[in-house]
């Protein structure tokens, strides 16, 4: 089987999910890191139907979207499986994976770009470990338009981000409960672990959020599944937006 090619962006959490799944299955791959926003045209030019990363060329197929890629990987390379054999357990993992992809993933993306817009220099910290051929001078010139463009494309408005931050305590409780009942964070990782861990790790690149997440069961589980994640955003968000999380903190640790 020939080597896979993964199209990615520096810091793209669903792309890191796919890297973790490829590693787990022992599938060899090379990564092509693209410039944010310009990646849309490159991905289309490479023959994929949509404009998003992760996009994966593997086994003569062009696969796109972290969930569709997870199903395709199990079809092409069944062992080790990403879904449990037990039907009930499989249902729960699929439900957690769907929540991770449809809700948590984009909410964290919106929070991230709003925060990076307030701390523009932090964008450079996401380049660590990437193979983007970007000389520092070009990076400095292009980061402003990239941040603005990502803010716009992702609809990272103050309103949306405040709503996401208000929902976060409930989501974290739900994720902690899934860790407690073994759907997430068990010894054998599953598709939902790979989907959710990277969103949690991306959220933890924000100094505003890291202390409120990292010692929770889902924070610990995310670090086990995804031990390394580049990026560090200094305090950026208005303190009043973080109030719902701070209010929850004592109850979560009690
Ligand atoms: N839910 C999809 C979304 C992927 C996605 O939105 N990726 C972002 C980068 S993290 C992207 O490519 N955005 C550009 C676009 O929306 O065209 C997945 O899990 O693959």
User: Is 81 domain-assigned?
Assistant: no
CATH of the domain at 146: 1.20.1050
Does 82 fall in a domain? no
Max Cα separation, the chain?
A: 53
Distance 247 CA to ligand 1 centre (A): 32
Residue 165: asked if its preceding bond is cis (omega within 30°), the reply is: no
Q: How many domains does the chain have?
A: 2
Q: Is 8 in the pocket of ligand 1 (CB under 6 A)?
A: no
Look at residue 87 in the predicted model and tell me its pLDDT.
97
Is the Cβ–Cβ distance between 230 and 11 less than 8 Å? yes
In a domain, 151, yes or no: yes
Asked whether 106 lines ligand 1 (CB < 6 A), one says no
Q: Is residue 208, in this structure, part of any structural domain at all?
A: yes
The answer to whether residues 147 and 41 belong to one domain is no
Check: CB of residue 139 under 8 Å from CB of residue 127: yes
User: Is the same domain home to 63 and 94?
Assistant: no
Q: Where do we find the tokens 């409960």?
A: 177
* pLDDT means over runs of 10, the chain (254 residues): 91 97 98 89 94 97 98 98 97 98 98 97 90 72 89 97 98 98 97 98 98 97 97 97 82 46
Distance 16 CA to ligand 1 centre (A): 12
Report whether residue 52 contacts ligand 1, using a CB cutoff of 6 Å. Answer: yes
Which backbone phi and psi does 28 adopt, to 5 degrees? -75, 140
What pLDDT was estimated at residue 254?
43
Q: Report d(CA 78, CA 122) in Å as an integer.
A: 39
Q: Does residue 93 lie within any of the structural domains?
A: yes
Q: Is 14 part of any domain?
A: yes
123 and 231 share one domain: yes
DSSP string, the chain: -PPEEEEE-TT-HHHHHHHHHHHHHT--EEEEE--TTTHHHHHHHTT-SSS-S-EEEETTEEEESHHHHHHHHHHHS-SS-SS-SSHHHHHHHHHHHHHIIIIIHHHHHHHHHHHHHHSGGGGGGGGTT------HHHHHHHHHHHHHHHHHHTT--HHHHHHHHHHHHHHHHHHHHHHHTTSSS-SS--HHHHHHHHHHHHHTTBTTTHHHHTTSHHHHHHHHH-------B-S-S-HHHHHHHHHHHHHHH-
Torsion of Cα atoms, 208 then 192 then 43 then 154, to 10° = -40
Whether residue 239 sits in one domain with residue 129: yes
- Select from 41, 76, 111 the last residue of a domain: 76
Q: What is the CATH number of the domain that holds 59?
A: 3.40.30.10
Q: Do 53 and 153 reside in the same domain of the chain?
A: no
Q: Is the CB of 54 under 6 A from ligand 1?
A: yes
Residues 27 and 46 in one domain: yes
Domain of 58 in residue numbering reads as 4-76
The answer to whether residues 127 and 71 belong to one domain is: no
Mark whether 10 and 122 lie in a shared domain.
Answer: no
pTM for this model (two decimals) = 0.95
- 200 within ligand 1 shell (Cβ under 6 A): no
- Closest Cα to atom 14, ligand 1: which residue? 52
- Tell me the best of 7, 52, 64, 66 to mutate to test the pocket of ligand 1, counting ligand atoms within 8 Å of each CB and taking the most: 52
From CA 194, how far away is CA 127, in angstroms rounded? 21
Pocket test for ligand 1, best of 9, 10, 14, 106 (most atoms within 8 A of CB): 14
94 with 56, same domain: the answer is: no
How long a stretch of residues is the chain? Answer: 254
Q: Are residues 53 and 120 in the same domain?
A: no
pLDDT of 82 reads 98
- Mark whether 170 and 134 lie in a shared domain: yes
Q: Which atom of ligand 1 is nearest to the CA of 14?
A: 19
**Does residue 212 belong to any structural domain of this protein?**
yes
- Could you read off the pLDDT of 141-150 as tens digits, one per residue? 678 999 999 9
Check pocket membership of 9 for ligand 1, CB cut-off 6 A: yes
If asked whether residues 116 and 198 sit together in one domain, one would say: yes
């Amino acid at each position: 089987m020939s080597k896979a090619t993964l199209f990615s962006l520096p810091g793209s959490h669903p792309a890191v999910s796919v890297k973790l799944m490829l590693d787990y299955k022992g599938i060899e791959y090379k990564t092509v890191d693209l410039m944010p926003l310009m990646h849309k045209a490159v991905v289309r030019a490479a023959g994929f139907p949509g404009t998003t990363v992760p996009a994966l060329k593997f086994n003569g197929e062009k696969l796109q979207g972290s969930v569709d890629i997870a199903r395709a990987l199990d079809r092409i390379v069944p062992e080790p499986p990403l879904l449990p054999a037990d039907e009930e357990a499989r249902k729960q993992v699929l439900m957690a994976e769907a929540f991770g992809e449809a809700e948590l993933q984009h909410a964290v993306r919106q929070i991230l770009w709003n925060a990076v817009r307030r701390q523009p220099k932090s964008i450079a910290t996401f380049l660590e470990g990437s193979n983007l051929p970007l000389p520092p001078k070009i990076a400095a010139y292009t980061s402003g338009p990239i941040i603005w463009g990502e803010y716009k494309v992702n609809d990272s408005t103050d309103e949306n981000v405040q709503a996401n931050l208000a929902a976060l305590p409930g989501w974290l409780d739900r994720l902690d409960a899934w860790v407690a009942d073994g759907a997430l964070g068990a010894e054998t990782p599953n598709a939902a672990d790979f989907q959710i861990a990277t969103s949690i790790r991306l959220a933890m690149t924000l100094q505003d959020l890291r202390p409120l997440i990292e010692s929770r069961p889902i924070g610990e589980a995310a670090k086990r599944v995804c031990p390394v994640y580049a990026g560090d955003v200094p305090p950026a968000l208005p303190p009043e937006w973080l109030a719902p999380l701070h209010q929850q903190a004592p109850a979560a640790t009690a």
